[in-house]
Amino acid sequence: MIELKDVTKTYKNGTTALQDVNLTVNDGEFVFVVGASGAGKSTLVKLLLCEELVSSGKILINGDDISLLKHNQIPYLRRKMGIVFQDFRLILNMTVYDNIAFAMRAVGKSNKEIRSRVPKILDLVELTSKARSFPNQLSGGEKQRTAFARALVNSPSIIIADEPTGNIDPQMSLDIIALLSGISQRGDITVLVVTHEKTLVDRFNKRVITISEGKVTSDRMGGYSE
C-alpha cells in the first residue's frame, strides 16, 4: 500500500510542486496519475523513489514512513519497486537477455536463479525471439517491453512507469498498458502509470488520479478529468 498524508514539496527556489496531497493506493491496484506538464507528476515519482524528500507530511509504503529511511536503506526500498522510464535506459552493449539478467545480478541473484527467471519474463513480455538482440536492433515498443521485463524480473510489489509510452506509437502504447494491466491482475503488484496521454487513459477503465498545480483535483474510475 502507498499512502500520502498531507504531502507538500517545496523546492529550494520556492516552487511548491505538491501541496497538501492525500491519497491511498491499495495493494494490487492499477492507477493512472495524470496531469499537464508541470502539474507535479514527476515530483511525485521522485518522492516515491526517495530522490527527493517531502517538505511536510508523510509518505508510507507498506506502513513504513520512507522519509525516515537512512541513505543506505534507500536501495533496499527501490529493490521492491520496478521503475520504467520514457527513455528506456537500456545498456546498449548488452543483449535483451543480459539487460534483464543485469537487474538480477545487481541484487545478488545467483546464475541458477537468473537462468530460471529471465526466460519466463521474456516469455511474459513476448520477447523470447529477441533475447540475443541488442537495443539498437529493437523497435521502440520492443525496447519498452525490455524495460518492463527488467522492472519485473525481481518480482517487485510496486511498478512505477513514468511516461512509459512517450516514445512509441499509439498501437504499441495500447499494447504496453494492456500488458501492465494484465500483470497487475495476475498478482499483488501495484501499478502506477504517470502520463499526460488523455486518449490512452480513456481507453482503459482504471482509476485515474488527476494532479493540477500540485493538488489532487480528481480521483475517479474510468477517464481523464481535465
Confidence of residue 187 (pLDDT cuts 50, 70, 90): low
Strands 16-25 and 30-34: unpaired
At 222, which amino acid appears? Answer: G
Q: Report CA-CA distances (Å) from 175 to 15, 33, 99, 212.
A: 37, 18, 21, 27
Q: Residue 129, Cα to own-chain centre: how many angstroms?
A: 25
Q: Is the pLDDT of residue 186 over 80?
A: no
What is the arithmetic mean of pLDDT over 185-200?
Answer: 84
1-78+190-226 CATH:
3.40.50.300
**pLDDT tens by residue, 46-75:** 999 999 999 999 999 988 999 889 989 998
Phi/psi at 9 (nearest 5 deg)? -130, 115
143-156: b or e for each residue (b if 16 or more CB lie within 10 Å)? Answer: bbbbbbbbbbbbeb
CA atoms within 13 A on the CB side of 5: 12
For the ranges 82-91, 126-135, 160-169, 197-206, which has the lowest average pLDDT?
160-169
Confidence of residue 223 (pLDDT cuts 50, 70, 90): low
- Where in the chain are the domains? 1-78+190-226
Position 141 scores a pLDDT of 86
Q: Report CA-CA distances (Å) from 185 to 7, 59, 116, 201.
A: 29, 25, 23, 17
Q: Is the pLDDT of residue 226 over 70?
A: no
Whole-model pTM: value is 0.87
**pLDDT tens by residue, 103-125:** 999 889 999 999 999 999 999 88
At 215, which amino acid appears? Answer: K
**Those residues with Cβ within 8 angstroms of residue 225's Cβ, 6 or more apart along the chain or in another chain:** 34, 208, 210, 217, 218
